[in-house]
């Protein structure tokens, strides 16, 4: 299956890549957004592509080979972008794109354990170097902690019942085992429509396994710091938890004062670092959703460095 980068045209319009600019794709995947940035910033624009997934980087290397030394690919988290920039001698960049969450390639690779459509080991790691798998969480966390995780990262209202059922069924080793356990609790024999009963629990375990929310909170200030004045940061989120973090960060960092309303005189000394370009998140067109259903939940927010 050919990987389709979500909101491709919107990303290029947001970043305005130009000749000679330096750009970072913090979740390069197969290189879809990266290719567009390199083509638009031809002939001298450069791109640093980061990804935790070595399989994705192999695809990106093939897909971006024609750009030669203009592209540098590194297996690393986007939370290390400042270190990667230092290694290249880049003092700042003109644009950064972050396409958060799991990719279509990862979902479509059964043995990665991201999907409940086929039976596979309960893995869910973006990087094979990550020691902890989803199975480790499922089989080792105390029931209360597991319930809290499923509620906090999956917004599953039946998190306590789900956690209790999982603990009672331990050990749980595969995706279909887990999906069956969760479905019995969430649906209780009722038919479901678009959203599978296990979707929220699987999302929660994937987010926790890869520490995704912590990574987003870490990378946003690093990304803004890395931008040159006028540089753009474009972030695509696929669920409300990530999008809320981005929205609140953009709101806070676009204001000079962040004192609470009950304090009449500002004493925080905070200065705005960005201008928010997208007051409301951009979403995929009906045509794009028809071609790539994953785009349905995508939300793009863009900010510019002051």
pLDDT of residue 191: 59
pLDDT of residue 187: 87
pLDDT of residue 1: 40
pLDDT of residue 16: 96
What does the DSSP assignment read for the chain? -----TTHHHHHHHH---TT-EEEETT-TTSHHHHHHHHHTTTT-EEEEEES-HHHHHHHHHHTGGGGGGEEEEES-GGGHHHHHHHHT-S-EEEEEEE-S--HHHHT-GGG---SSS--BS---SSTT-S--HHHHHHHS-HHHHHHHHHHHH--TTHHHHHHHHHHH----BHHHHHHHHHHHHTTT----SS-TTHHHHHHHHHHHHTHHHHHHHHHHHHHHHEEEEEEEEEEESSHHHHHHHHHHHHHHT-S----TT-SS--S-----EEES-SS-B---HHHHHH-GGGGG-EEEEEEE-
CATH class label, 112-210: mainly alpha
**Residue ranges of the chain that CATH labels 1.10.150.170:** 112-210
CATH assignment of 8-99+212-305, among 1.10.260.40, 2.60.40.10, 3.40.50.150, 3.40.1030.10: 3.40.50.150
- pLDDT by 10-residue block (mean), the chain, 306 residues: 79 97 97 97 98 94 97 98 98 97 68 82 92 97 98 97 98 96 85 79 96 97 98 97 97 91 82 96 96 92 98
């Amino acid at each position: 299956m050919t990987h389709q980068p979500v909101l491709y045209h919107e990303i290029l319009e947001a970043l305005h890549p130009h000749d000679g600019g330096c750009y970072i794709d913090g979740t390069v995947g197969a290189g879809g957004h990266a290719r567009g940035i390199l083509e638009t910033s031809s002939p001298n624009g450069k791109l640093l592509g980061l990804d935790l997934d070595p399989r994705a980087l192999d695809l990106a290397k093939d897909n971006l080979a024609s750009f030669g030394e203009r592209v540098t690919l590194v297996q690393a988290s986007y939370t290390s972008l400042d270190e990667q920039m230092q290694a290249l001698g880049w003092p700042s960049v003109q644009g950064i794109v972050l396409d958060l969450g799991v990719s279509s390639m990862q979902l479509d690779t059964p043995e990665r354990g991201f999907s409940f459509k086929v039976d596979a080991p309960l893995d869910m790691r973006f990087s094979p170097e990550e020691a902890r798998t989803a199975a480790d969480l499922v089989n080792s966390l105390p029931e209360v902690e597991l319930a809290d995780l499923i509620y906090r990262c999956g917004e599953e209202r039946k998190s306590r019942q789900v956690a209790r059922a999982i603990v009672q069924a331990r050990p749980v080793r595969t995706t279909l085992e887990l999906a069956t356990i969760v479905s019995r609790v969430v649906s209780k024999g009722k038919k479901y429509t678009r959203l599978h009963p296990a979707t929220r629990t699987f999302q929660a375990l994937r987010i926790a396994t890869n520490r995704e929310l912590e990574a987003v909170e870490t990378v946003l200030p690093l990304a803004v710091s890395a931008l040159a004045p006028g540089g753009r940061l474009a972030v695509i989120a696929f669920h409300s938890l990530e999008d809320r973090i981005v929205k609140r960060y953009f709101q806070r960092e676009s204001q000079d004062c962040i004192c609470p309303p009950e304090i009449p005189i500002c004493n925080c000394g905070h200065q705005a670092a960005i201008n928010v370009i997208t007051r409301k998140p951009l979403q995929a067109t009906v045509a794009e959703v028809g071609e790539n259903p994953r785009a349905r939940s995508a939300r793009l927010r863009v900010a510019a460095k002051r």
